[in-house]
Amino acid sequence: MRPFDLAIFDCDGVLFDSKEANRAYYNAILARFSRGPMNEDEMAYIHMHTAEQSVRHLFRDDEDACTQAIIFAKGLDYSGYLHLLKMEPGVTETVSAIRPYIRTAIFTNRGTTMPKLREIFGLDSLFDSILCALDVRDPKPHPEGILKILGQMGIEGQRAVYIGDSPLDEQAAKRAGVRLMAYKNESLDAMFHVKHFHEIKTILLSA
């Protein structure tokens, strides 16, 4: 018997190396308001949080500028930065290999940029369910998205695993009662730690 019936994947930092795309996107927002680029602490924050949360954090010192920056960000087309986004090695092969045996899903704190990623990278052909920040009232670390996917598929938490790379993923998985597989982050409290998608495939298909 395989250990899980459902694998839920985070997007940024797991399915995609989106660091440089996100850096360019948010630095463009900052530049529009005559501000310098993000520092590494700010980069770490925007990697995990929703777009609005990220903009609010970057403009946390000026409420008026923050309001205008949120409006500007909503109209800034992320597709101009997609050439900087790279799918992690082994994603397509791994997900295609496990799908005959295990349901697959995505839950991410991405919002308005997610539909474009789904279209360009053909994510709907790889995953049974895809939820982003627009589909829930409370983004991660709240477990709403994970619990919603479990409900959609009729799968109990102990039969699911969440593959994530951040403390928000760790918290959301724990609150939802699912196991965590930490991707390229040894500091997380997880059942498994992996560095490549081939390892994910081996674990998920083990009997």
- Whichever domain contains 194, its CATH number is 3.40.50.1000
C-alpha span between 135 and 150 (Å, rounded): 14
Q: Are residues 95 and 149 in the same domain?
A: yes
> Which of the four pLDDT bands, split at 50, 70 and 90, describes residue 207?
low
- Of 83, 108, 139, the residue at which a domain comes to its end is 83
Q: What is the mean pLDDT of residues 96-104?
A: 96
C-alpha span between 61 and 196 (Å, rounded): 39
pLDDT tens, position by position, 49-77 = 988 999 999 999 999 999 999 999 989 98
C-alpha span between 128 and 149 (Å, rounded): 10
Q: What are phi and psi of 46, to 5 degrees?
A: -70, -25
Q: Are residues 12 and 73 in the same domain?
A: no
pLDDT tens, position by position, 151-197 = 999 999 999 999 999 999 999 999 999 999 999 999 999 999 999 99
> Which of the four pLDDT bands, split at 50, 70 and 90, describes residue 125?
very high
Q: Are residues 11 and 44 in the same domain?
A: no
pLDDT of residue 32: 96
> Which of the four pLDDT bands, split at 50, 70 and 90, describes residue 113?
confident
Are the CB atoms for 147 and 141 separated by under 8 Å? no
Q: Are residues 23 and 91 in the same domain?
A: no
Phi-psi region of 177 (alpha: psi -120 to 50; beta: other; left: phi over 0): left
pLDDT of residue 204: 95
C-alpha span between 92 and 58 (Å, rounded): 34
pLDDT of residue 79: 83
Q: What is the mean pLDDT of residues 104-111?
A: 95
Q: Are residues 60 and 132 in the same domain?
A: no
Q: Which domain holds residue 138?
A: 6-17+86-204
Q: Are residues 100 and 131 in the same domain?
A: yes
Dihedral of CA 134/197/22/57: which sign? positive
167: how many CB neighbours lie within 10 A of its CB? 15
Give the containing element (helix H, strand E) for 160: strand 160-164
Helix (H, G, I), strand (E, B) or coil at 30: helix
Q: Are residues 173 and 110 in the same domain?
A: yes
Domain count across the chain: 2
Q: What is the mean pLDDT of residues 107-123?
A: 91
Six token digits for residue 1 = 């018997």
Mean pLDDT of the residues in the chain: 95
Q: Are residues 70 and 12 in the same domain?
A: no
Q: What is the mean pLDDT of residues 8-22?
A: 95
Residue 51 belongs to some domain of the structure: yes
Q: Are residues 74 and 92 in the same domain?
A: no
Q: Are residues 193 and 91 in the same domain?
A: yes
Helix (H, G, I), strand (E, B) or coil at 34: coil
- Of 56, 83, 110, the residue at which a domain comes to its end is 83
C-alpha span between 161 and 6 (Å, rounded): 6
Residue 1 belongs to some domain of the structure: no
C-alpha span between 32 and 68 (Å, rounded): 10
Q: Are residues 36 and 119 in the same domain?
A: no
- Of 28, 56, 83, the residue at which a domain comes to its end is 83
